[in-house]
Amino acid sequence: MATLSGVVATPSTQAAGAVPVPEEDPFYAVPANVADYDNGEVISFRPITPKAFEIPLPAQGWQVLYRTEDRVGRPTATVTTVLVPDRAWKGAGPRPLLSYQTAEDGVAGKCAPSYAFSAGVRGGLTNAYPELGLVAMALLRGWAVSVPDYEGPQSQFLVAGVQAKGVLDGIRAARSFAPAAIDPAAPIGLWGYSGGSLASLTAAQFQPTYAPELRLSALALGGLVANVRATIDAFDGSVFGGAIPMGINGFLRGYPELGIGDYLNESGRALVAKAAGDCINDAVARRPFLTIAQMEAVPHALDQAPIAAMLRENSPLFMPGVPEVPIYHYHAKLDELAPIGPARAVLRRFCAAGVDVESHETALGEHLTEVGRGAAGAMQFLARRFGGKAPRNTCAKIPG
């Protein structure tokens, strides 16, 4: 069995100036012997020069290929970008580790954060690209950062069982990756906005049973997607409607046994096929104002029992598991893409189970503006928790 205790994992190289998309890059390939590795074990790695907005980050960076699982437990592999600040850590205790989940939001490797870090603007203005600035802010605080391609090698967008395991195994890989020298006692935080919030929260819900050895210190969630069906309904017929056929590709890959294509008419199947290589920005531009009804062969397809059950299975509001970590939540009340009602409901459930939740709602702004507006508060929360300070609790103020 491969191990990284002495950095026995295989190093790799990348040709200077050549940044192929992950599907065309052998480094990303799942090895035939992936089952020989443990979950979170490093398979291969290579150094990169990480950048945000074409500006080199003040950190050492590596792309790390590690073993994880798909929804039903079959072994696979994905990549996390591990970043360690150049400056020495001068805070109390060991250097913290932040797992930052970008809103990967796509069904192609070009949408993954590892590609954005290495390709820069040449990789396109994907959803991951603008969030690299938040990663840079974390590095400037001296934190090590792991940024996983949590959708896995098939880009299974919205499939919680893939995404949660991808996040947790990415943390395992970062902690065991000897060149990063992350202290085993380092406090661990998770942070994500929108699609990244879904991956972060489901990872925290999976953690007590899937990765009980990971002791999490902080969970920051912005624009929380708590109910996938509610979010689909919000996109339906809106200017963002073209994202729907893109998203269906994630479920087709994660749930082949459901025959999801049978619920679509000929036009719907064509739209899904055209979106099979899209990031969300590509898909939205292709068919704004698209409605689900225009794609259906079976009326009210989302209400059909197999589809409804699948959507609930991938929604934190209905998933089993309660995070064992204090939560910081920020959300625009008028969020048009991630309705705030389901977020309030899942947070109230966690509060009832004894979780400390600090929730902040803003009356102004909407989904996209809240990304930047709420970041400072999330960063301060993470810093407090990494510094060992007690969490704040605003459970009594969350609207019913």
Instruction: Kindly list the catalytic residues.
Output: 194, 335, 367
As beta bridge partners, residue 44 has: 10, 65
Candidates 42, 40, 45; CA nearest to 69 is 40
Task: Name the H helices within 81-159.
Answer: 113-119, 128-140
Host H or E run for residue 286: helix 280-286
Contact present, 197 and 225 (Cβ < 8 Å): yes
DSSP 8-class letter at 111: G
- State how far the alpha carbon of 106 is from the alpha carbons of 31, 53, 281, in Å: 23, 20, 9
CA distance 317 to 340: 12
As beta bridge partners, residue 331 has 361
Strand-pair partners of 98: 145, 189
Beta strands 75-85 and 42-48: pairing type?
Answer: unpaired
Shortest CA distance to 70 belongs to which of 303, 256, 343, 205? 256
For the four alpha carbons of 174, 62, 196 and 368, in that order, the dihedral sign comes to positive
In this structure, the number of other CB atoms found within 10 A of the CB of residue 119 comes to: 17
Residue 180 makes CB contacts below 8 A (sequence gap 6+) with: 60, 62, 82, 84, 144, 174
The C-alpha angle with vertex 15 and arms to 12 and 16, in degrees rounded to 5, equals: 125
How far apart, in whole angstroms, are the C-alpha atoms of residue 312 and residue 346?
Answer: 13
Q: Which amino acid is at 64?
A: V
H/E stretch holding 248 = helix 243-254
- 68, 74 contact by CB (below 8 A): no
Q: From CA 206, how far away is CA 293, in angstroms rounded?
A: 34
Residue 90, Ramachandran bin (φ over 0: left; ψ between -120 and 50: alpha; else beta): alpha
The alpha-carbon radius of gyration of the chain (Å, integer) is 20
